[in-house]
């Protein structure tokens, strides 16, 4: 692949507690299993216990402390007015990792099925369409260029306008609002961030495109670590066959 030396590029995720730490441990394992050639960085906040950090260091190249609230005083003050955006602010820390020229951010509740290093061909801000409101991108996976300027602009926007969904997805879609009908090269195929959903058009399409799926995203309130797992089997109701299969694949690693 032409472009940057791969050492200047990294996969990055975020962990603020031990539950998401489990998710990140699986993700880190899978990234190595599919043979990534890029650096892997897990950002952890002060609230993450030492045992989790230790576990993460086994599957991630770098376990990096980030402040849940920025240390810059005026930022901190403004942020404190919107405590509900705490985790969003932590995610924005990825723009401060200027030691990397390009980053693929991935949620801790994702699981790559095959190598996804070709994502580094994309430019900021590239992402997949959201199943739900498909003119928004889903922020479980996005390609960005770290920059303190962008970081500050995002913080400013968050403090001024908040986020229309109370999380990072609303904020980032408001900021990168030309994504929807701008440059189609910034639309990563949905197969890189497949979020199983209940829409009745999803299932036949999933079956048709199944062999192209490169990453699964367990988005929503119920995460893989919430399911009971015993003897290679996940206990769960109203799950499609392939969701069950992915959950079991996840648990085999965890």
Ligand X SMILES: O=c1ccn([C@@H]2O[C@H](COP(=O)(O)OP(=O)(O)O)[C@@H](O)[C@H]2O)c(=O)[nH]1
Residues of this chain that interact with a second copy (CB under 8 A) are 128-136, 138, 164-166, 169-170, 180-184, 187, 189-191, 195, 197-202, 204-209, 219-221
**Other beta carbons less than 10 A from residue 132's beta carbon:** 12
Residue from 17, 18, 191, 197 binding ligand X (CB under 6 A): 17
Between 159 and 172, CB nearer to ligand X: 172
Instruction: Residue 116: name its binding partner from a second copy, Mn ion, ligand X, none (Cβ under 5 to 8 Å by kind).
Output: none
Residues of span 201-220 touching ligand X by CB under 6 A: 219-220
Determine the interface stretch with Mn ion among 6-14, 154-162, 211-219, 224-232 (rule: CB under 5 A): 211-219
Question: Using CA atoms, how far apart are residues 26 and 187, in angstroms rounded to an integer?
Answer: 26
Is there a contact between 121 and 3 (Cβ–Cβ < 8 Å)? yes
Between 117 and 130, CB nearer to a second copy: 130
Is there a contact between 112 and 30 (Cβ–Cβ < 8 Å)? yes
Instruction: Residue 175: name its binding partner from ligand X, a second copy, Mn ion, none (Cβ under 5 to 8 Å by kind).
Output: none
Beta-bridge partner residues of 63? 42
Is there a contact between 115 and 31 (Cβ–Cβ < 8 Å)? no
Residues of span 109-138 touching ligand X by CB under 6 A: 109
Query: What six digits make up the tokens of 215?
Result: 């990453």
Query: What six digits make up the tokens of 79?
Result: 């942020």
Segment 196-204 long-range contacts (CB within 8 Å, at least 24 positions apart): 196/240, 196/242, 196/243, 196/246, 197/131, 197/132, 199/131, 202/131, 203/240
Where b means 16+ CB within 10 Å and e means fewer, 55-66 reads bbeebbbebeeb
Which phi and psi (to 5°) does residue 90 adopt?
-65, -40
* Smallest gap from residue 72 Cβ to ligand X (A): 22
Q: Does 219 bind Mn ion (CB under 5 A)?
A: yes
Determine the interface stretch with ligand X among 8-16, 154-162, 171-179, 183-191 (rule: CB under 6 A): 8-16
Determine the interface stretch with ligand X among 15-23, 182-190, 228-236, 243-251 (rule: CB under 6 A): 15-23
Q: Does 52 bind ligand X (CB under 6 A)?
A: no
* Smallest gap from residue 240 Cβ to a second copy (A): 13
**Other beta carbons less than 10 A from residue 48's beta carbon:** 22
Q: Does 16 bind ligand X (CB under 6 A)?
A: yes
Instruction: Residue 136: name its binding partner from ligand X, a second copy, Mn ion, none (Cβ under 5 to 8 Å by kind).
Output: a second copy
Which phi and psi (to 5°) does residue 234 adopt?
-95, 135
Which parts of this chain interact with ligand X (CB under 6 A)?
A: 13-17, 20, 87, 91, 107-109, 140, 219-220
Which parts of this chain interact with Mn ion (CB under 5 A)?
A: 107, 109, 140, 219
């Amino acid at each position: 692949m032409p472009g940057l030396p791969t050492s200047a590029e990294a996969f990055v995720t975020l962990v603020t507690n031990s539950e998401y730490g489990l998710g990140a441990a699986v993700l880190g394992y899978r990234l190595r299993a599919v043979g990534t050639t890029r650096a892997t960085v897990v950002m952890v906040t002060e609230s993450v216990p030492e045992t989790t950090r230790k576990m993460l260091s086994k599957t991630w190249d770098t376990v990096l402390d980030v402040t849940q609230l920025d240390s810059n005083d005026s930022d901190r003050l403004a942020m404190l007015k919107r405590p509900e955006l705490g985790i969003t602010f932590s995610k924005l820390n990825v723009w401060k990792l200027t030691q990397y020229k390009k980053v693929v951010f991935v949620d801790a509740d994702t699981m790559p099925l095959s190598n996804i290093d070709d994502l580094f061909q994309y430019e900021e801000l590239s992402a997949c369409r959201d199943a739900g409101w498909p003119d928004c991108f889903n922020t479980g996976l996005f390609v960005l260029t770290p920059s303190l300027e962008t970081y500050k602009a995002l913080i400013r926007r968050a403090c001024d306008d908040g986020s229309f969904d109370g999380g990072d997805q609303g904020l980032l879609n408001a900021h990168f609002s030309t994504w929807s009908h701008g440059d189609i090269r910034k639309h990563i195929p949905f197969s890189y961030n497949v979020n199983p959903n209940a829409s009745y058009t999803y299932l036949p399409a999933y079956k048709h495109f199944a062999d192209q799926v490169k990453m699964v995203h367990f988005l929503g309130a119920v995460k893989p670590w919430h399911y009971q797992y015993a003897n290679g089997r996940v206990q769960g109701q109203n799950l499609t066959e392939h969701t069950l299969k992915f959950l079991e694949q996840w648990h085999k690693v965890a």
